[in-house]
Structure 1
Amino acid sequence: MTQGETVGTTLADAVREGIGASLAATDAELARRYPGDPGTRQPVHTVYVPADAFTADTVRSWGRQALAALDEHAPDAEALARVLGLSDELAGPVYDRVRAKLEREPVEDLRIDFEDGYGQRPDAEEDAAAVAAARIVSAAVADRTAPPYIGIRMKCMEAAVRDRGIRTLDIFLSTLMRSGGLPDGLVLTLPKVTFPQQVTAMVRLCEEFEKAHGLTPGRIGFEIQIETTQSILGPDGTATVPRLIDAAEGRATGLHYGTFDYSASCGVSAAYQSMDHPVADYAKAVMQVAAAGTGVRLSDGSTNVLPVGPTAQVHDAWRLHHGLVRRSLARAYYQGWDMHPGHLPTRYAAVYAFYREGLDTAAARLAAYVAKAGGDVMDEPATAKALSGYLLRGLDCGAVDLEEVTARTALGRAELDALAGR
C-alpha cells in the first residue's frame, strides 16, 4: 500500500454503530464485574489474634518474639540460609531485610478474631472485648503504630451465632466511629459462608451502618472466607464463588481460603489437612478463576505446625512454612495467614527471596519491552503487566527498593503503576 492510497471498505458506518449499540449493555456489565486490580497495596499475610489476647502491645510483641526466635535459632544470614536452602547471593540481603521488617513493621494485616479463635463467651464479655478492640485500634491508628490493615473476624451468618456476630460487628464499628472514625485500612472478615444470601445479608448490614452514620455508600468492604464445600460448588453443581462475589455488590475485597475448616468439610483426616492437599488446590483454583479481573484479591490459608521447642524442631517447622509460602507465591497466592510470631521470619524470608531472585530477569524483560528491544523472549502487554505487577509487589512489601528497580528498568513508580494497570 502506497502513501495516500484510498483504503477500501465494505461495511457501512451504520453497521459499526449498530454493533456498538447492541454491545453497550455488555460493555457496561464487563466494566461492572471486571474492574481490574484496585491498584492498592496487598498485604503479604494476615495475622489472626483471638480478641481476648489482643492488646495495644500485640504487634510490637509479635515483632519482638519473631526477632528472639531468629536470634536463638538462626542468629545470622548463613544459619538461616542453611535452614531454608537460600543461595549465597540471597542469604545476606534476605536476612537483613527480614530483621529490618520485624523491627519496623512486623505485621502487615491484623485480624482480631471473634470467631473460632475466640469461641463462645457470655454476651457481656464479648461486648466488652469488642469495645476494647475498637478503642485499641483507634488509638493505634492515631499514634501511627497500627499495621497498614486491621479489623475483626466476626462470627458467621449461620442461625446459631448470627445475632452475636452482628452485635459484635455493630459494637466494633460504632465504637470506632465514636473514637475518631473508620480507619483507612479497616478490613472485616465474614467466615464460613455457604450461600450468596449470607453475603447479601452482610451487604445490608454495611449499608444500614453507612446510612446511620452518613458515610459514603460503599465505604465498608469485607473479605469472604472460603471454608465450606458449598462455597465452592452449589447444590446444583455450579460454582458458587462467582455468585458470592456478585452478591457482595462491589464490597468484596478478598477471598480467604480456610485450610482446616475446608479440609474437614471434605472429610480429610486431621493429619493430612494442609495448604498443599489436592482438595485445597482444587478449591483455590476455582477461587482464582472466579476472582480474576474482579478486583477481589486472594489469600491462602495457614499451617498449624508451630515453630516452637528445640532448635531442630523449629527448623523443621520453618522449612515447612517457608516451602508452603513459596508454593503459594508461585501459584499467584500473594497473601496467607500466619498463626504464630515464629512464622514471621519464614514468611518474610520466603517473600523476599521470591521477589529478589527474580528481580534482574523481570526488570530486564520489562525494560526490553518498553524499549522494544526484543531479546530471547517475546513479551506481550499482558506479560508486561505481570512483570510490572511483580516488581510493584516486591516494592510494596520491602523486598526490593525503588532505586534497584529504576536502575534496572529506567522506570519510576508512576510508570510501573501504569504498565500494571493500576
Structure 2
Amino acid sequence: MAAVTTLADAVRTKIGASLAATDAELARRYPGEPAERQPVHTVYVPADAFTAGTVREWGDQALAALDAHAPDAAALGAVLGLTGDLATQVHDRVRAKLLREPVEDLRIDFEDGYGRRPDDEEDAAALAAARTLAAMVADGTAPPYAGIRMKCLEAAVRDRGIRTLDLFLTALLDAGPLPEGLVLTLPKVTFPAQAAAMAELCAQFEQAAGLPAGRLRFEIQIETTQAILGPDGTATVPRLIDAAAGRASALHYGTFDYSAACGVGAAHQSMDHPAADHAKAVMQVAAAGTGVRLSDGSTNVLPVGDTVHVHAAWKSHYGLVRRSLARAYYQGWDMHPAHLPTRYAATYAFYREGLDASAARLAAYTAGTGGAVLDEPATARALSGYLLRGLDCGAVDPGEIAERTGLGRAGLDGLAGR
C-alpha cells in the first residue's frame, strides 16, 4: 500500500527555501574538524636564540635528561606510574620520538620571550629567522609546523609588530614558496577589532605578494579576561573567531598572563586553576565545530637540577598534560627541553591505554554488532578521531589499528567526518 502524507510538496519546498540562508551560515561557521594533523605541543624560542640547530639541540637536551633521570622503562614507569608493557612501549616511543622529531611545532618569539629591542636589531632578527627557517625547510630539518609570534596590535607596539611580520614573510617568500606548516601567532588579543585587523593585514599581504586569498591564517592567544567576557557581558571568543573572517586557525590559552589578569597570585598560577578551567571551557564551546583548534598553556615548573627535583617536576607536568588530554585539549606549550619526555610520555600513554577498548568499540560499530555499549554515529566520530590523533602523534601505528578495526586512514577519516 502506498504511503499517504498530509503535507503538500509545496510546504517542504517553502520550508527549504526559508532555511537556505541558515544552511549556508551553518556550513560557513561550522565546517567541522580539519583533516590535517594537529601538533601535540608548541615550543617557544626567543628570536635571538633561534638557530638552525635549535630543534636538534632541544632533542639532545631532552634525551640527556631522560638518560640521566629515567634511563630505562622501569625507571620512567616508576616516576609516572606506568607498569609492564605500557611502560616499555611508552619509553621506547618517547626515545624514538626525541631522536626523530623532538619538536612538532616551533614558534620563533618576538613578543614576551624577546622583549623590546632597537628597531634595527629586531629587523635583523626577523630577517635571520625567516632565512634560517627557509633553509631548514629546504634541507628537511624544520619541524612540521613553525612560524613566529609577533608583537600584539596594541598601540604601543603595533607598528613594530606589523613591520616584523612583513619582514619575516617577505624574506620567507624571497627564499621560495611559503612553508606548508607556516604558523603565525597574534598575542594579547582583547577585542574583535584586533582579530579583524590581523585578518586585514593577512589579506593585504596576500594581495601585494600575489598569494592566493586565504593562504595566511593565524592563531589567537587568549591572555586577557576581556577575550573571554566582553564589557557588555557577552562571550568574546566567538566574536574573535568571526572577526578573523575564516583565518583563525587556533586559540591558545596563555596561562600566566590570563591568571595574572584575574588576580591569581604567582604561586597559584597554573593550567588547572579554576580561572583557567573557566576560560578554557568558554574557548572550547566557542571553537566547537568551527575548525579552530585549541591549545592549553604551559607550566613554569622546570625539570632541572637533581633527580629528586626533576622527578617531581615530571610528575607534575605529566599529570597536567594528561588532564588536558582528558578535557579535549590536545595541544599545549613546552617551555624547556626537559619537558619533552613527559609531554610525549603523557600523550603516548593516553592513546595507548585506550587503544584496545576504542578500537573494539569502533569495530563493533562498523560491523553492526551489539555489545555492552550502544554507540551512535557521534560516538563513532569521537572514537575514530581519538585513533587518528594517536596515529598522528606516533603513539600507535597504522598496523595496530588496522588489525583491530579493519580500517585504514581513509576509513577513519570518513568516520571522523574529516
- TM tier, smaller: over 0.9
Q: Partner of 1:283 in structure 2?
A: 279
Shift of 1:8: 1.1
Distance in 2 of aligned mates of 1:49 and 1:407: 40
| Corresponding residue for residue 53 of structure 2 | 57
| Alpha-carbon contact 2:32-2:289 (below 8 Å) kept | yes
- In the other structure, the counterpart of 2:165 is 169
Q: Which of residues 13, 16, 22 in structure 1 aligns to 2:18? A: 22
Q: Secondary structure at the match of 2:43?
A: strand
User: Which amino acid is the alignment partner of residue 239 of structure 1?
Assistant: A
Measured in 1, the distance between the counterparts of 2:256 and 2:275 equals 11
Matched to 2:365, the amino acid is: Y
- Residue among 77, 80, 88 paired with 2:76: 80
Q: Once the 2 structures are TM-superposed, how far is the Cα of residue 92 of structure 1 from its aligned partner?
A: 0.3
Is the contact made by 2:61 and 2:337 (CA closer than 8 Å) also made in structure 1?
Answer: yes
Q: Which residue among 292, 298, 315 is the counterpart of 1:296?
A: 292
Q: How does 1:201-240 map to 2 (within 5 A)?
A: 201-240=197-236
TM-score, with normalisation over the residues of structure 1?
Answer: 0.99
- Local SS of the residue matching 1:93: helix
- Which of 396, 403, 421 is 2:399 aligned to? 403
Q: Which residue of 1 aligns with 2:326?
A: 330
Aligned to 1:193: 189
1:42 to 38, 45, 50: 38
Q: Letter of the 1:336 partner, please give it.
A: G
Deviations 1:36-58 (A, max 9, x none): 01111000000000001100000
Question: How far apart, in 2, do the equivalents of 1:314 and 1:127 lie?
Answer: 38
Matched-pair contact (CA < 8 Å) for 2:302–2:339 = yes
Find the residue that maps to 2:97 and give its secondary structure: helix
Pairs aligned (count): 418
Distance between the aligned counterparts of 1:270 and 1:254, measured in 2? 27
**SS at 2:383 equivalent:** helix
- Give the Cα separation in 1 of the matches to 2:261 and 2:365: 46
In the alignment, the residues of structure 2 paired with residue 255 and residue 235 of structure 1 have an alpha-carbon distance, to the nearest angstrom, of 20
Correspondence for 2:88: 92
Per-residue Cα deviation, 1:142-188 (whole angstroms, up to 9, x for no partner):
11110000000000010000000000000000000101121000000
TM (normalized to structure 2)?
A: 1.00
User: Which structure 2 residue ranges, 5 or more long, are not aligned?
Assistant: none
Instruction: State the partner residue of 1:141.
Output: 137
Contact 2:74/2:83, CA 8 A, preserved across alignment: no
**Partner of residue 346, structure 1:** 342
SS at match of 2:167: helix
Q: Which runs of 5+ in 1 are unaligned?
A: none
% identical equivalent positions = 79
Query: Quick one: which of 4, 11, 14 aligns to 1:8?
Result: 4
1:85 partner letter:
G
Deviation at 1:213, TM superposition (A): 1.1
* Aligned with residue 158 of structure 1, among 154, 169, 188: 154
CA-based RMSD of the aligned residues comes to: 0.4
Q: Deviation per CA, 1:233-267: give whole Å up to 9, x if none.
A: 00000000000000000000000000000000000
Secondary structure of the corresponding residue to residue 140 of structure 2: coil
What is the match of residue 379 of structure 1?
375
CA shift for structure 1 position 372: 0.5
Aligned-partner Cα distance in 1 for 2:194–2:244: 9
